[in-house]
Every structure is written in structure tokens, then in C-alpha cells.
Structure 1
Amino acid sequence: MAGGQPVSELDSRIHAYDEVGRLAELSLLGRLDTSFRFVEPVAARCGAARLSLRARPDAHSPQVSEALPGEALEVIVRRPDGWAWLRTLHDGYLGFARVEGLAEQSPGAALQRPPLKITALRGHVYAQPSIKAQKVAEVCLGAELAGGSDEMVSEGGRQWLAVEGGFVQAVCAEPLSDTDSAALALRFVDTPYVWGGRSAWGLDCSGLSQLVYAAFGRGLPRDADQQQAALRPVDTAQRGDLAFFDGHVGVMLGGERMVHANATQMAVSVETLGEGEYGKRLKAGLLGFGRWPV
């Protein structure tokens, strides 16, 4: 190659480059050879619905992650077929998504207000401030909704907040009552397992650990191996540590008990390492524990 580093040294999950089309994001200028055309990513955000990021610009390709409503994104390329190559900014993860899932970026008062951060596991945006009104969107823990007003609307003893596109009950944005990531992870028990999912409507193992850590201001990368590399390895687990396996991760509740989203139960469940058939398999495959750096 004429200058730059080998493509094999880059991680295609977080480094945007297309060897076939010879296109790459501008931040890789100087790291890739001059046969690439370099483009500047454009700021964007997720719209009112969760946005599926896929491995390829094809609705039948595997989901690799999700963007939650209102999350900050950047678009590498908008394709003429209605797909965008983009990344979620909080973890730098790349995927392909339909452009209709992106929010309009036109300036407006709603977009200039601080977003309303959702703390409820699941909820809805309603067309009007009433539980009988039409539901216009689903929300979830981690969603950030552009606000339309600072004033609450009372209805039937309930308090509502205006957001872009409708109203959400104020209880959905109250401070978390959980004291740590392990306690929050336990509230996800029985949530369906969904490959690439990142919400209480359905998630995978690293989606769960990433979500419950982020709720307490601890940003983690997207995948289990990335999370393991980001944490300090420890020999003995304590509450809130992560347990790592080949392609899998769980949140420890103590020295042996663990809560995790898994395809064996097809849900979030609690296991004890070394106990029962599944627990024995997990303990045999344990790679180690990770703790948030102090």
C-alpha cells in the first residue's frame, strides 16, 4: 500500500471504511492510503422510534445494534437506495439504517431545549395528555426526547410533559430509584432476548450491560469483547462487576449470581455460576470478570 496503515489493523465495527468502494470517514485520513476517498460525517439523531442498525443495507441482514429515540448519530454516507451508513455517537458503533428513521435536523425551539431523558424501562408518547389518547411512539430507558414545553399538564391526577410529537407522563422521566447497575439489571428479568437490541422492548447480553452501566454515567462500548477490554480485570467478582464468556457478558449480583440476557432462555434471567446444567456450562466457559476503573 502507498502510505497509511493496513486495513487489517482497523476495527470495522468502529472505523468507517469501505474497501470495495474505496471510501472512508475523514478521521482515517493518514491511516489509510490515498486510493480512498475521505468524507466528513454529518450530525444526525434518531427519530421517534428505535432505529435498527444492520450489518448490510438490507432489511434481511442481521441487526448489529439499535439507536434509541433521540440518540445522537452521525451519518457517514446517505445512499440513493434509502439506506444510511451511520454510527451511534455514544459508543462509536457502525451500521446501516433506513433514512426515514432519522429525525429532521431543521432548527427549532424543541431541538434547542435540553432533551427529556427517559428513565422508565418502557413507555409511550401519546398524541394528547391522556391515557386514552392514541399512542404515537414507544420510549424506553435511555431515550432522549426533544421537549416542546417546560410546563406540565395535569389530567386525572397525572402529570404530563409535552415532547416533540406528543406528550409523555412525567413519571417516565423521574430519577432512577435503583442504587446500582445490578439492581437496575434485575428489573429487566423476563425481557425478551433480541440480537442487537438495546432496550427493555428486547435486548442482547451486551445491550443489557451497556444500558445499565450508562444509566449511572458509565459509558461502555457495544460488544462484549470491547466491554471486557474497557474494564479492569479482577479475579473475584463483586456486585456490579461484569462476567465475560466467549461472545457473552452478564452483570454480577455478587460472587456467583449473575443476571444476563441470553438466547438459552430467550430472555433476561438470573443464574448461579456452577449451579444446575446451565450454570455449570457458564462457569466452565468463564473468561474472567471486569470492574469499572476507579
Structure 2
Amino acid sequence: MSELDLRVRAVNTERGVVEPALEGQFPALRVLAPRTVYAAGQLALHARPDGASPQVTEALHGEALEVLEELPGEHPPGGWAWVRTLHDGYLGYARLDGLSGPAPVRPVTVQVPRSHLFAAPSIKARVLTRLGRGAALSTLDSHPARHGEYLWWRVAFGEGEAYLHDAAVQPPSGDLPTFAENYLHTPYLWGGRTAWGLDCSGLSQLWAGRDAHSRSRLPRDADQQHAATTPVEKPEAGDLAFFPGHVGIMLGERRMLHANATHLRVTVETLGEGEYGRRLQAGLLGFGRVGAGP
């Protein structure tokens, strides 16, 4: 039996549980019964059911997850759940109170890198939460309404309603220069997936699914993305560059956009140029091209 990737395959021998797909390999373990839920707010997924453990990824507001196992009361305050993000199959632990969101109805999706949700249809109103690209909210009306100078969507939030500026749902250009401009200098955040903070593979995931014409879905981590792309010898703009535990987006043959802990933000490097560029060049594993998707 090949070694299982426990980032995406749910088996925990300490708790004696296994996902249904692996039941045959672990007949002595209790088989879990997954159910689908939705993230309420931008939700951190941790390595362990403990808020002090590292964040491994994030779920966006309105994003679907699969609850594999609830661990109520074991780690106060409140309970935790072992969950899987359905868009890329990644496993982590999330607070139960972050899984209370209903399935988005007639959803409107945030298209800009980052935005805010307001308590009233005014840019001066109280901010209820922040939203990253891909967050989905249930609309309460069939179209946005004008309030003052701007159009606003009235959406469901918690037990009440909130307002999202119409500009937040207008998709930007999907070209690479615009993408790079939108995410350049974004803070680096381990496990982050939005322009509020992201890591290297979170950035490449955003690039792969940047618009309606590029529906490719990459796995979560750099090594998984390396395995999922088509190797190329000479990179073109938009191809991915892979290093041990790292990935970047090529802007040309040598220039690369990447989220990195060296600068703690998204920067542009030239492979082979300068001290950092030479280190990157020395560790280069190869280039990969993202498929066009279905």
C-alpha cells in the first residue's frame, strides 16, 4: 500500500476513524459519515483542534466544506470539527461556530481581491467583516439598488442582512499584468488564500482560477501543484515555477511573482539575479503549465 497523503486523505488511528473511501484499507476503524456545511466568515483551518496550532489553509465565506468529525467540548472554549475543503480536498480543523453558514442562495460572489461587508448601504457604515475574492453571499433582492452615488447588493449575513458594494462583484481583467498588479505587496500569511494575506500556493491557486475562462483548480500545496501541472522546459508568462516547498508565477522567462516569507509579502524576483534570485535559481525544480480546465 502506497503511503497516504494525510493532507487530503482522512484517517486518524489515534481517534480510530477513517473516511468512507479508505474503509477497505482500515477495516478496524470507525467509518465517518461526512456532511456538507458552509463557512461563516473567513474561516481558519488549523493543523490540530487548537487555535494555537498553525493555520494550514482558509475557507472563504459561503464556501462549502465537508465535516468529517465533530470534537465538541474536548478543546474549550467551544468545539472543533475535522473538515475538508471541497474545492481542493484539503483537511484541517475548524471551530464549530465558524461552520454555521447556510448554503448561499442566488449567490453573489466577490470578484475583486479584497472587499468589506457593511452594516448599511454606505461607505461610512460599520464594517461587519472582510471578504476575499471567491466569497459568496446570499442575495435578498434580484438586483442591486442605488443608494446615493452607488449600487449596493442587500445580502444575508448571520441572522440579519448586510450590504456589499456592487464594485466588489465586478470581475477584473484576467490578464497576468493586472493580476500581478492586484496582488503585488499582499502580506505573506501561512495558509492564507486571499489578498488580506496569502502564501505561495494560495497565490498560484488564485491565478489558476482567476476568471470564468480559466476554471482550473490546483491542489493546495506547492508539491501537489507541481504534480498536477504539465512540465515545460522553457516557461511562458503564466507558467508556474517550483522549488522545494515553494511555487511562483512566471511573468516571462526569468521574472517571477511569488508570495514569500523572505520579504513577508508578494514580490517580483528575477531568477539568477541578486542574492535571493541566485538562491531561487539554485533550488529550481522545474516549470509547470496549468491546464485550461473543463
Q: Which of 227, 234, 237 matches 2:235?
A: 237
**Stretch moving more, 112-121 or 216-225:** 112-121
Does structure 1 residue 14 correspond to structure 2 residue 8?
yes
Does structure 1 residue 176 correspond to structure 2 residue 172?
yes
Distance of 1:112 and 1:93 partners within structure 2: 21
Q: Which runs of 5+ in 1 are unaligned?
A: 1-5, 106-110
Partner of 1:274: 272
What is the DSSP-based 3-state SS (H/G/I as helix, E as strand, rest coil) of the residue aligned with 2:82?
strand
What is the DSSP-based 3-state SS (H/G/I as helix, E as strand, rest coil) of the residue aligned with 1:132?
coil
Q: Which of 175, 190, 198 matches 1:203?
A: 198
User: What TM-score, normalized to structure 2?
Assistant: 0.92
Contact 1:46 1:71 in 2 (8 A): yes
1:150-198 C-alpha deviation (Å, 9 max, x unpaired): 1312122100001112010011001222324x64134211110011111
Partner of 2:76: none
Which amino acid in 1 is paired with 2:94?
A
Contact 2:241 2:250 in 1 (8 A): yes
Partner of 1:290: 288
1:117-160 C-alpha deviation (Å, 9 max, x unpaired): 11111111111111121111111111112222213121221000
What is the DSSP-based 3-state SS (H/G/I as helix, E as strand, rest coil) of the residue aligned with 1:255?
coil
Partner of 2:53: 61
Contact 1:142 1:211 in 2 (8 A): no
Distance of 1:151 and 1:178 partners within structure 2: 24
Distance 1:284 1:112, change over 3 A: closer
1:47-88 C-alpha deviation (Å, 9 max, x unpaired): 1x2111110001111111011111110100111121000011
Q: Which of 138, 158, 168 matches 2:130?
A: 138
Structure 1 segments, 4+ long, off by >3 Å, are: none
Contact 1:186 1:259 in 2 (8 A): no
Quote the RMSD (CA, aligned, Å).
1.4
Alignment of 1:33-48 (within 5 A): 33-47=26-40
What is the DSSP-based 3-state SS (H/G/I as helix, E as strand, rest coil) of the residue aligned with 1:268?
strand
Distance of 2:240 and 2:156 partners within structure 1: 36
Aligned length: 280
Contact 1:185 1:212 in 2 (8 A): no
User: What TM-score, normalized to structure 1?
Assistant: 0.92
Alignment of 1:219-230 (within 5 A): 219-230=217-228
Question: How far apart are residue 112 of structure 1 and its match?
Answer: 6.1
1:6-39 C-alpha deviation (Å, 9 max, x unpaired): 4x62110001111111101112222x23111101
Partner of 1:86: 83
Q: Which runs of 5+ in 2 are unaligned?
A: 74-78
Which amino acid in 2 is paired with 1:169?
H
